[in-house]
């Protein structure tokens, strides 16, 4: 169809490593017209796209709609959860302009953990058993009835940090104070979810959903804790390898049938036509996969590891997903594995050190088989690249085996130097594929 071959102008919303990886892949599409980015302060994005000169403010929708009209944006790709939860997709969808990312009603699955649990319970989706509280005293009374310390989660959006996995009952009770009274995660802590602690290993299963077709992407395993051997506080994610977490087709099929399909059906019954990424954060327990949380966007840094292996035209695929034509595109995966190592700044996840000059990015990016994505960097007044956030850079190695992908990622990551650099050394180290190596 000639119509399908026309170039498409894209607006990419978001400013982290996930968006840099998406921009890098979108740039490879022969159909890409102009690429506009909302966060050009990220040097990686600035190198690939033109700045959007309108505020991305959901309370000022006319300006951003006008920008899209004037620049003939055919596809809007929304990376982060906050604009999705605020309803940016609702505001920007228009005839001739597709939006990749769910409406606010769909994004609620991520933005309101208490509501998500209710939906999962009603749809019999396997998950950690738990209860929701708006009253700290009631939450504490419930915790005291438990045999083992439960996991305590702020119900709202907290950039992956609003989950406390206590070792003792005292810590579990303290978690209620931290989340609900001290409001360490702000308004996200207006209500809490208190749930059983599950044992097993984690998997991130992300699926493209066009409202009709589900395409499950290769599974990944994230490493949420800050320190080696899963120690320290929860973070947004310190590294990922792909494929990981689940590598057998039968378990993927089980996740699709028991988790993804009933969740999307429940959303549909609520009138939600979900288009974008449905991401199930799972614990693979001896009793099968159980949901820890849903996200309604690409994972960060899952996306970076996935894009390194994605072997299709990303623009076509995202456009097809947004326009209910996902069944028309073909997606392949490069063999065999990728590994993404997150480089963070001292103080992350609480109070990362910013403004610190970074060296060695070009040398790392020059390692064959490696991509370096900017997550929390910017240029200072002299043009030098400095730290500007908690997770600073993502180094992704791709190779013919996980061992090779890891070795490449770490070889490159070791070339990056700055004061206060923090990175885990064990990303992917416990993968079954490496057992015995
Ligand atoms: P979430 O944001 O809900 O995925 O939680 C962040 C991280 O906390 C997860 O990736 C797990 O490592 C841990 N976690 C959350 N819920 C549980 C649970 N019920 N049992 C054990 N670990 C959990
Ligand atoms: N890497 C976990 C997340 O994106 O929420």
Using the 3D structure, point to which of 169, 195, 221 is the last residue of a domain: 195
Q: Please report the pLDDT score of residue 127 as a whole number.
A: 96
Q: Please report the pLDDT score of residue 82 as a whole number.
A: 95
Look up the CATH number of the domain holding residue 154: 3.30.1490.20
Ordered alpha helix ranges (H), 163-313: 169-176, 249-255, 261-269, 302-309
Q: Please report the pLDDT score of residue 435 as a whole number.
A: 57
Return the best residue to mutate from 85, 222, 240, 396 for the ligand 2 pocket (most ligand atoms within 8 A of CB).
222
The answer to whether residues 160 and 94 belong to one domain is: no
Ligand 1 lining (C-beta closer than 6 Å): 128, 151, 153, 160, 163, 165, 195-198, 202, 224, 234, 281, 283, 292-293
Counting from 1 in the atom list of ligand 2, the atom nearest the Cα of 240 is 1
Counting from 1 in the atom list of ligand 2, the atom nearest the Cα of 222 is 1
Q: Please report the pLDDT score of residue 132 as a whole number.
A: 93
- In angstroms, what CA-CA distances link 152 with 28, 75, 165? 42, 38, 7
Using the 3D structure, point to which of 171, 195, 219 is the last residue of a domain: 195
The answer to whether residues 72 and 156 belong to one domain is: no
| Ligand 2 centroid to residue 238 C-alpha, Å | 9
In a domain, 258, yes or no: no
- Degrees, nearest 5: CA angle 300-17-329: 70
| Ligand 2 centroid to residue 338 C-alpha, Å | 17
DSSP-derived 3-state class of residue 232 = strand
The answer to whether residues 40 and 82 belong to one domain is: yes
**What does each of the 437 residues of the chain score in pLDDT, given as a tens digit?**
444 579 999 999 999 999 999 999 999 999 999 999 999 999 999 999 999 999 988 888 999 999 999 999 999 999 999 999 999 999 999 999 999 999 999 999 999 988 999 999 999 999 998 899 999 999 999 999 999 999 999 999 988 788 999 999 999 999 999 999 999 999 999 999 999 999 999 999 999 999 999 999 999 999 999 999 999 999 999 999 999 999 899 999 999 999 999 999 999 999 999 999 999 999 999 999 999 999 999 999 999 999 999 999 999 999 999 999 999 999 999 999 999 999 999 999 999 999 999 999 999 999 999 999 999 999 999 999 999 999 999 999 999 999 999 999 999 999 999 999 999 999 999 898 775 44
Query: What is the residue range of 12's domain?
Result: 8-101
Q: Is 160 in the pocket of ligand 2 (CB under 6 A)?
A: yes
Of all protein residues, the one whose alpha carbon is nearest to atom 4 of ligand 2 is 299
In a domain, 47, yes or no: yes
Q: Please report the pLDDT score of residue 2 as a whole number.
A: 40
In a domain, 122, yes or no: no
In a domain, 91, yes or no: yes
In a domain, 380, yes or no: no
pTM: 0.95
The answer to whether residues 25 and 94 belong to one domain is: yes
Q: How many domains does the chain have?
A: 2
In a domain, 360, yes or no: no
Look up the CATH number of the domain holding residue 12: 3.40.50.20
In a domain, 67, yes or no: yes
Q: Which ligand sits closest to the CA of 234? A: 1
The answer to whether residues 12 and 62 belong to one domain is: yes
In a domain, 23, yes or no: yes
């Amino acid at each position: 169809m000639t119509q399908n071959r026309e170039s498409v102008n894209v607006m990419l919303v978001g400013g982290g490593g996930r968006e840099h990886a998406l921009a890098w892949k979108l740039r490879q599409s022969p159909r890409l017209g102009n690429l506009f980015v909302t966060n050009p302060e990220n040097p990686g994005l600035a190198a690939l796209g033109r700045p959007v000169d309108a505020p991305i403010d959901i309370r000022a929708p006319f300006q951003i709609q006008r920008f899209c009209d004037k620049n003939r944006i055919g596809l809007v790709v929304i990376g982060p959860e906050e604009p999705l939860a605020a309803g940016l997709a609702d505001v920007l969808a228009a005839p001739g302009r597709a939006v990749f990312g769910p409406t606010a009603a769909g994004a609620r699955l991520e933005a309101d953990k208490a509501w998500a649990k209710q939906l999962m319970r009603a749809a019999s989706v396997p998950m950690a058993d738990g209860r929701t509280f708006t009253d700290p005293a009631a939450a504490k009374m419930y915790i005291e009835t438990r045999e083992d310390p439960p996991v305590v989660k702020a119900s709202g959006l907290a950039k992956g940090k609003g989950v406390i996995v206590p070792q003792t009952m005292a810590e579990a009770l303290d978690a209620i104070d931290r989340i609900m009274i001290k409001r360490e995660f702000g308004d996200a802590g207006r209500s809490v979810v208190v749930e059983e602690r599950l044992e097993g290993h984690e998997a991130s299963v992300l699926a493209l959903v066009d409202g009709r077709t589900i395409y499950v992407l290769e599974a990944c395993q994230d490493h949420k804790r800050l320190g080696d051997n899963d120690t320290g506080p929860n973070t947004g994610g310190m590294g990922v390898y792909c494929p990981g977490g689940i590598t057998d087709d039968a378990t993927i099929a089980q996740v699709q049938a028991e988790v993804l399909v009933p969740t999307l059906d429940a959303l549909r019954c609520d009138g939600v036509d979900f288009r974008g990424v449905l991401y199930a954060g799972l614990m693979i327990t001896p009793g099968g996969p159980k949901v820890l949380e849903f996200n309604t966007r690409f994972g960060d840094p899952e996306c970076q590891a996935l894009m390194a292996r994605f072997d299709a035209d990303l623009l076509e695929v995202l456009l097809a997903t947004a326009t209910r034509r996902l069944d028309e595109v073909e997606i392949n995966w490069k063999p065999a594995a990728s590994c993404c190592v997150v480089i963070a700044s001292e103080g992350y996840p609480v109070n990362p050190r910013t403004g610190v000059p970074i060296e060695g990015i070009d040398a790392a990016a020059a390692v064959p088989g490696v991509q370096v994505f900017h997550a929390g960097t910017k240029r200072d007044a002299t043009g030098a690249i400095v730290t500007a956030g908690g997770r600073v850079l993502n180094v992704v190695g791709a190779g013919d085996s996980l061992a090779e992908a890891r070795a490449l990622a770490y070889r490159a990551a070791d070339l990056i130097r700055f004061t206060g650099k923090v990175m885990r050394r064990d990303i992917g180290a416990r993968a079954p594929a490496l057992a015995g190596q």
